[in-house]
Structure 1
Amino acid sequence: MTRMSSFRKSTLGWLAFALVPLLPVTAFAQGASTPPALEGETCSVTGLMDQIRRGLASRSPAYQRYLRTLLREAAVTLPAAELQAAFEREKDPTMAEHLAAALVARSEREADVGAMQVVAKRALEDRDPAVRSATVRAMRRTGALEKTGDLYERLMRDASPEVRMEAATNLSEDNQFVYAGQLGSATDTAVAAAAASRDPKATAKILGTLNTEKLGAEAASQLQGLLRNDSAEVRQSAALALGGVPAEQMGQARESLVSMYRGERDAGVRKALVRSIAQLGFAGAVPELQRLRGIDPGMAPEIDAWIRALGTGLQEWELILREKQRLQTAP
C-alpha cells in the first residue's frame, strides 16, 4: 500500500489517511509558497507495529482500540508471510494479541484461509500462558469457532485457569453475539467444550448464557451428563441450559430434571431445576411441579410462584419470567 498526495476514494482510504505522518510546518514558517510534496512510502508490518508499540503507551482505551482496528483493517493489504512471521516471533502478550487479531481478520475476509490455524496453533502451544490467553482473546466474536475443529475442547484442558476462562468467554460471547443461538453446530461445540472441562467456573461460564434452542441430540446427552457433576455451580448452569432445548429433546430433558430434583440438596440447583421444568412444559408443567412441592418444604414458595405464573396462560417465556418475578416481589 503506497501513500499518495491524491486521496483515493476507497474502503481503505481512511486507513491510508491515518497512516500519513504529520507534514513538517517549518517550510510554511519560513514563507514557502507551496507545501512540500509528499513522498511515496510503503507500509510495512514492522513500521505499523512500531507505531502501535508507541501508541500503547497512551492511557486512552479508545486510542488503543483504534490502533487495534487500524492493524486489522490494514491486515488484508500487508504481506502475509511478513505478518505471520511477526506474530510467531512476538513475545509481548499485548502485541501478540494485536497481530493475532490481524491474522484472524485476514482469515475472516478470505485473504488467507490458513491464518486462523496459525493463530489456533499458538493458542494451544505457546509456552507463555499470557500469550496463549491473548491469542485466544484475538479470536473472540469472530468465525473462529467454525474453523478450528476441536480447538475449544483442547483449550478447556489447558493448564492455565486464565486460558480456560478466556476460551469459555469466547464460547459464551460467540454463541450470544455472533450466532445468537441459531447455529446448532456452534451450540454443540460449546457444550462439548463444557463437557471436556474440569474447571467448574469455566464450565459454568460457557453454559450460563447459552441459548440451546438448536441443540443437537448428542450435545443434549452431554448436557444431561453435566447434571451429575460434583460442582453445584456446574449442575445449576447445566439445569438452566436444558430448559431451552428444542422440542425433540424436551421429553428426555424433563425426565432428567425431575429425577435429579428428587435427590438434589443444593437450593440454588433446585431453583434452576424448577425453572427449567416450568420452561419446558409451560402450563403443562403445573401437575409435575405440584408433585415436587412436598419434597422440600423450603422450596414451596418458589414452586407456588411458578405455578401461579404458569396459570396465567401467558405463551411467551420472557413474559412468564416477568410475571413470576412480579408475584414474588408483590406485597
Structure 2
Amino acid sequence: MTRPLFRKNVLRSLALTLGLLTPALASAQEPSSRDEAPSLKAGTCSVEGLMDNIRRGLHSKSEAYKLYLRTLLRESAVNLPVAELQAAFEREYDPYMVEHLAAALVARTERGLEEEMTQAVAKRALEDKDPGIRAATVRAMRRTGALERTGDMYERLVRDSSPEVRMEAATNLLEDNLEVYGGRDARAVDTAVAAAAASSDPKVTAKILGKLMTGEVSAGSARTLERLLDNESTEVRVAASTALGGVPAPEMASARQSLLGMYRDEKSPEVRKAILQSVAQLGFASAVPEMQRLRGIDPSLAPEIDAWTRVLNMNLQDWSLILREKQRYQQAR
C-alpha cells in the first residue's frame, strides 16, 4: 500500500553512513556542553557494539545525544545481522533497550526486508509478562505501517490488563492515522474505530475517537460510532459525537439523524455541546434550521446555539474558519 510520508529523517544519511562503515563508531566525539554524554568507544558496527553505546547513553543528560543513539540503531538496522538483532531483542529485559531493538526490527520491515520482524515485535507486545516491556514494544511500532501487518493486534492491546499499554496503543492509532496516513486511509481509520469499540476503558475509547480524523471511515465503522452514542460513559459519548462530525458524505445523513435523535434525551451538557458542533460540521449553513429546532430543549445551551447560528450564517466554506470565528465571537461577548 502506498502511504504518504510524513516522517522526517534528519539523521538518516549520517546514520546510514555510520551503519555501513565498521570504524565509524571510533570517530564520534563527546558533546561539548557541560552535561557531556559519554563518548562512543571504538569498535566494529555490530549489534552488541551499538547496544553497549546506547546503554552508556542512558546516563547522558543530553537529549540530543540520546536521540542520535536511537536513530543510529534504527537507521543502521538494515546493515546489521538480522539473527543477532532479533536474538538481542528476545533476550533483552530493559524496557528502554527493548524499545530501541524493537524499533530496529520494525525498521527492517519498513525498508522492505523481513516481513516477520514487525510480527515478532507485535507478538512480544501482546504476550510478554512485563507490562513495561509490552508498552515499550508498542511504542516501537509508533508512526509505522504496523497496523497493516498485525491483524487484530490493536483490538487486543486496548484490552490489555495494563493501563499504560492500553494508552500507548491509543496513542499509536492516533499518530499513525495522522502522521503516516494523513487521516486519509480507510483501513487505518477503521482499525482505530474497531479498537476504540473493543476497549472497555472509557479513557482509551475517548482518546482514540476524540481526535480521530474520520473522513475516510467506512459505512460499517460509521454505524459503530453511532452505536457508541449510547455508551454509559459521558466522555465516550462526547468523543463518539465528535467523531461523527467528520464522516464522509455518504454517511452524513445517517450521522446527523443519530445525533439529532440523541440530543433530546441526552442529559450531559458536554455531550450536547459535542452534538451541536458535529451537526454544524455536517451541515454548515444548512444546519441552521436544525439548530433552531433544538434551541428550546435546553435553555442553558441557547447561547451556544445562537453562536453556531451566527457563525454558520456567515456562509464560510472552511471548517477551520468556522471554528475560529465561533471562538472569536464567544470571546468577544
TM-score between both structures, scaled by the size of structure 2: 0.89
Look up the equivalent residue of 1:271 and give its one-letter code. Answer: K
Query: What's the CA shift string for 1:126-156, capped at 9, x where partnerless?
Result: 0000000000000111111111111100001
Using the alignment, how far apart are the partners of 2:326 and 2:22 within structure 1? 55
Q: Distance in 2 between matches of 1:150 and 1:224?
A: 22
Partners of 2:27 and 2:279 in 1: CA distance: 64
From the CA coordinates, give the structure whose radius of gyration is larger. 1
1:130-279 equivalences under 5 Å are 130-279=132-281
Using a 3 Å threshold, how does the CA distance of structure 1 residues 10 and 135 change in structure 2: closer, same or farther?
closer
What code does the residue aligned with 2:129 have? R
Match of 2:39 in 1: none
For the 8 Å contact 2:22–2:43, the answer to whether it is kept is no
Highest relative contact order (Cα 8 Å, sep 6+), 1 or 2?
Answer: 2
In the TM superposition, residue 18 of structure 1 has moved relative to its aligned partner by 8.2
Contact 1:176 1:209 in 2 (8 A): no
Once the 2 structures are TM-superposed, how far is the Cα of residue 22 of structure 1 from its aligned partner?
5.0
What value does the CA root-mean-square deviation take over the aligned residues? 1.7
- Structure 2 residue runs of 5 or longer lacking an equivalent are 1-12, 29-41
Q: How does 1:1-331 map to 2 (within 5 A)?
A: 12-15=16-19, 16=21, 19-22=24-27, 42-331=44-333
Counterpart CA distance in 1 for 2:24 and 2:162 is 38
What is the deviation of 1:202? 1.0
Listed as ranges, the gaps of 5+ residues in structure 1 are: 1-8, 24-39
> What is the rounded CA distance, in whole Å, between the counterparts of 1:146 and 1:41 in structure 2?
37
> Which secondary structure does the structure 1 equivalent of 2:26 belong to?
coil
Identity of aligned residues (%): 65
Using the alignment, how far apart are the partners of 1:18 and 1:297 within structure 2?
74
Q: Deviations over 1:215-247 (max 9, x none)?
A: 101111111111111111111011001001001
1:12 partner amino acid: L
Structure 1 counterpart of 2:167, one-letter code: M
Structure 1 distance, partners of 2:265, 2:214, is 25
Number of residue-to-residue matches in the alignment: 307
Asked if structure 2 preserves the Cα contact closer than 8 Å seen for 1:106 and 1:115, the reply is yes
Query: Are the structure 2 counterparts of residues 137 and 244 from structure 1 closer, same or farther at C-alpha, using a change threshold of 3 Å?
Result: same
Summarize deviations over 1:263-307 as a string: whole Å, max 9, x none: 111111110000000110111111111111100000000001001
Measure the CA separation in 2 of the matches of 1:65 and 1:10: 13
Query: How far does the alpha carbon of each residue in 1:147-170 deviate from its partner, in whole angstroms, 9 at most, with x for none?
Result: 111110000110000000000000
Distance (whole Å) between structure 1 residues aligned to residue 318 and residue 249 of structure 2:
15
**Alignment partners' CA distance in 2, 1:143 and 1:166:** 16
CA–CA distance in structure 1, aligned partners of residues 207 and 64 of structure 2: 27
Change (3 A) 1:10 1:240: closer
CA distance in 2, matches of 1:316, 1:22: 53
CA change 1:294–1:18 in 2 (3 A) is farther
State the 1:95 CA deviation.
Answer: 0.4
Change (3 A) 1:184 1:296: same
Structure 1: 4+ residue segments shifted above 3 A: 14-19
